């Protein structure tokens, strides 16, 4: 088995219960996580669910699994087994195990070959790649969250309604003095027009009417 699997940067979500029913005669796809659990049931000393107890697997162990296929692996075809092995050996815990341990482990739990420097370098590179990918994803998530927060509609301040009402009342109070001043100006203009008793004024000749108007406007001009 090679150790050149691509880094698995996050835990794969568990299989959904709403998966479409496979066509007749075709087995349903088994999630790699479930397949690894079946590995743990078949070889509990080799495949551990505890990340701290993960051990590097012996080279060629995949072929041994495909050859033995104990009852615990019922429902897993060759493709499902290969996919589960890739999933298991590409996890961060497995790469840390490659740096932690001196030897690999056989399918029967016995000690296998020593881990060479090339395998350790590959494990270290995978650890760095996984951590970098996670940091980049976290950065993008934070950026998206900040952008959504900035574009979100600002909630209306309940005090705005009170302020608007106060401004309207203040505007009404200011309008009252202006209205009174306008009325006073209008009255003053009306008073400036010469008034004459209707009957007396009607008896005047046109020339007398014009003279009185001229006298009235002449007085106003003198003022």
* pLDDT on residue 58: 98
* pLDDT on residue 198: 57
| Three-class secondary structure of residue 114 per DSSP | strand
- For the 32-142 domain, the top CATH level (class) is mainly alpha
What's the pTM? Answer: 0.55
What parts of the chain have a pLDDT lower than 70? 1-27, 148-158, 171-177, 180-181, 184-202, 218-223
* pLDDT on residue 209: 79
169 CB-side CA count, 13 A: 6
* pLDDT on residue 2: 43
209/199 Cα distance (integer angstroms)? 13
Q: Are 28 and 19 in contact (CB under 8 A)?
A: yes
Domain spans, the chain: 32-142, 188-223
148/44 Cα distance (integer angstroms)? 47
* pLDDT on residue 13: 43
107/58 Cα distance (integer angstroms)? 8
């Amino acid at each position: 088995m090679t150790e050149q699997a691509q880094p698995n940067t996050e835990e794969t979500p568990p299989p959904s219960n709403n998966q479409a029913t496979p066509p007749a005669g075709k087995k349903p796809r088994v999630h790699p996580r479930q397949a690894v659990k079946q590995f743990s049931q078949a070889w509990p000393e080799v495949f551990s669910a505890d990340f701290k107890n993960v051990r590097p697997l012996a080279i060629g162990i995949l072929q041994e699994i495909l050859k033995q296929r104990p009852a615990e692996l019922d429902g897993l075809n060759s493709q499902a087994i290969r996919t589960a092995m890739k999933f298991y050996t590409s996890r961060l815990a497995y790469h840390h195990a490659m740096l932690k341990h001196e030897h690999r482990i056989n399918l029967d739990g016995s000690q296998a070959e020593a881990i060479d420097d090339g395998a350790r370098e590959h494990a270290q590179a995978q650890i760095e790649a996984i951590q970098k990918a996670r940091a980049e994803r976290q950065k993008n998530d934070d950026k998206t969250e900040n952008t959504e927060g900035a574009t979100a509609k600002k909630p209306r301040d309940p005090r705005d309604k009170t302020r608007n009402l106060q401004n309207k009342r203040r505007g009404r109070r200011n309008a009252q003095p202006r209205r009174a001043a306008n009325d006073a100006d209008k009255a003053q203009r009306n008073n400036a027009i010469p008034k004459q008793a209707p009957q007396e004024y009607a008896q005047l000749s046109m020339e007398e009417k014009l003279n009185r108007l001229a006298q009235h406007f002449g007085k106003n001009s003198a003022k």
